[in-house]
Structure 1
Amino acid sequence: MKYLGFLCILIAFSSCKDKPKSEGVQETRTTGSVKVLVDDTFSNIVDEQLEVFNSDYPDAKVELIKGQEQRILPTFLNDSIRVIVMSRVLTPKEEQFYTNRGIVAYTQRFAIDGIALIANAESPDSTVTAEEMIAILKGTYTGNKQLVFDNPYSSTVKYFKDLAKINTLPSKGVYTLNSNADVIKYVAEDKDYIGVIGLNWYLQAGKKGDSDYPKVKLIGVKNVKGGKGDDAFYKPTQDNLISGIYPFLRNVYIINCEGKDGVGTGFANWLASPRGQLIILKSGLGPHKLISRDFNLKNSN
């Protein structure tokens, strides 16, 4: 009986010890994991946001998958990855992919971007009109200006195709490379081209001390007649982005189709939060919301 009692105690202890642990990490806005597709044009600013987000919420794992808009969008639409950062909202047809699954697409603007036009620092060109840009893209331009883009599948190329109302780029006067960084390098080495890149890439090159950065310059743009900014040449400064006077503007959105209250929702909310917006403000892009600054003034008399 003594041995039987000891055996019962041992079995009871073992059963307590072997209780199954909870599987995985609980999915909340600040715990768990999510994959996010990112238009490469905005990869720098999203990297900055994620660095601070991770420091605040170490149990929230966000994996960024970067690429050109036209290459990453199919991955989003076939339900492989349900969160994406890009320069436009979904079309009704694209949104239907998720509506058919009973999932709502939550769209949040978190920044205003400018498409920067850059020239070689020694180039005599310091301005260009929107009419000239459209003429070059249509293949009807008779001057010497030529354009070089980041990638044929990028959102930047799509923006200008839509602006010029064309389906394909002309065979002469417009060229594409592989990345925004390639555009900066190319223009730094050749005086005959105007580079078309995301503003954040240009600003980051300056912050990081890129050796090609001093060899290029921003050029001013005048809008088409009747458009905002048609009275003078404007550069993509932060004030001009916020006021909307720079001609080549676009919004930056995060679209979340997780279908649950997970890390994707948490990261989207973070981007639009006061802290996330402050990072946008410091980056040189236009924030979705201006951060109010309150001062406590005391009368010393």
Structure 2
Amino acid sequence: MNRIKQTPLLFIIIGVLFLSSCHKRYTRTDTTTSGIAQIAVDESFAPIIEAGINVFESLNSEAAIIPVYTSEQNVYDLLMEDSIRLVIGTRLLTGREQEIIEKRKQRIRSQKIAIDGIALITHKENKDTLLTINDIRNIMSGEIKSWKQINPDSPLDSLAVIFDTPNSSMVRYIQDSLCDKRPFGKNVKALSAGSSSPDITRVSSHDKVIGYVASHPNALGFVGVNWIANPVDTTNLSFIDKVNIVSVSSATKATPNNSYKPLPYQLALEVAHRESPREFPTGGYPLIRDIYIIITDASGGLPSGFFNFIAGDRGQRIILKSGLLPANRPIRLVHITED
């Protein structure tokens, strides 16, 4: 009789122990400075984020950040699938994406961390290094198919435009911001197929673009500016010498005086021009875009620690050193006038 009465109590004790063991099994052990976290990053920004990870891990010996560098589409797909809870890309979430995440009872935090410049590169033997925004638009649409249409004296003829992947943020930016969503011409191609699943072992498509342009005199390539920044130049006033860097003008005709390269101070001038056109009437390098870090993970974990690091002072210094314009670090622009 006593044994029967004790049975329910025994089941309760076993149940409590089982639930307790399950709770312990799934309790997170990471902190803002320790543990393992996987993040997804638009591969346009692989060099700069890799530099940030190296510094973060050197400061926090018990932390390991595992990056997946992939196309923009893959980055946001991973976030929406809840496979990864921290991403870095060039756009904020859409209203529909926010609804899906909020239904999972997750809090969304996002912050702009940098302004990127989209760099145009050409072969070292190509002497035509000045282009207008209208030139670029006509090249992308296929109206300009030859270098001789830009410069009749050019020894080059057919013009090949090279991108990273079909689903990249670079393609979306050019198509949306310059081409009014019109289709690209037949002379535009991507070097990588743009797989629906990220492959962290393959050679970056931006490296492929640089390599292709360096070996093909008629090519015009598009890459993120942090891929061409000179790593040994602490002044951020030069680029790698493997390819030419095109100067871009917003004017009707490109000249050396109105065309600019994607240097950090030229990115800052363009931002200032867009915010205060009267004070900064000429602007700077026109092909700029914002970079965001987005997190859906709970506060207190390693993803949150890396989020705060990249958005904070040290992370912003790394961004500036990598050739981009930090979004959360003051940049002083000084007018110099001749009397």
Compute the TM-score of the two structures, normalised by the length of structure 2.
0.71
Q: Give unmatched runs, 5+ long, in structure 1.
A: 1-19, 208-212, 226-230, 294-301
1:133-144 to 2 correspondences below 5 Å = 133-141=136-144, 143-144=146-147
Contact 1:274-1:291 at 8 Å conserved across structures: no
Contact 1:126-1:219 at 8 Å conserved across structures: yes
Contact 1:116-1:196 at 8 Å conserved across structures: yes
3-state SS in 1 of match to 2:104 = coil
| 2:55 aligns with one of 45, 52, 55 | 52
1:154 partnered with 2:168: yes
Indicate the percent of aligned positions where both proteins have the same amino acid.
33
Partner of 2:289: 250
Q: CA–CA distance in 1 between the matches of 2:299 and 2:321?
A: 31
1:191 partnered with 2:191: no
Q: CA–CA distance in 2 between the matches of 1:119 and 1:197?
A: 11
3-state SS in 1 of match to 2:125 = coil
| 1:73 aligns with one of 62, 76, 101 | 76
| 1:201 aligns with one of 227, 230, 237 | 227
Partner of 2:190: 176
Q: CA–CA distance in 1 between the matches of 2:57 and 2:34?
A: 11
Partner of 1:94: 97
3-state SS in 2 of match to 1:80 = coil
Contact 2:264-2:324 at 8 Å conserved across structures: yes
Q: Deviations over 1:89-143 (max 9, x none)?
A: 1111222221222222211111211110011111021111111211222233354
Q: Give unmatched runs, 5+ long, in structure 2.
A: 1-20, 148-158, 193-204, 234-239, 271-283, 333-339
Partner of 1:116: 119
> How many residues are treated as equivalent by the alignment?
262
3-state SS in 2 of match to 1:53 = helix
Cα RMSD after superposing both structures = 2.4
Partner of 1:285: 324
Contact 2:268-2:331 at 8 Å conserved across structures: no
Partner of 1:268: 307
Contact 1:242-1:287 at 8 Å conserved across structures: no
* Structure-2 change in CA distance of 1:232 and 1:292 (3 Å): closer
Q: CA–CA distance in 2 between the matches of 1:292 and 1:190?
A: 38
1:39 partnered with 2:78: no
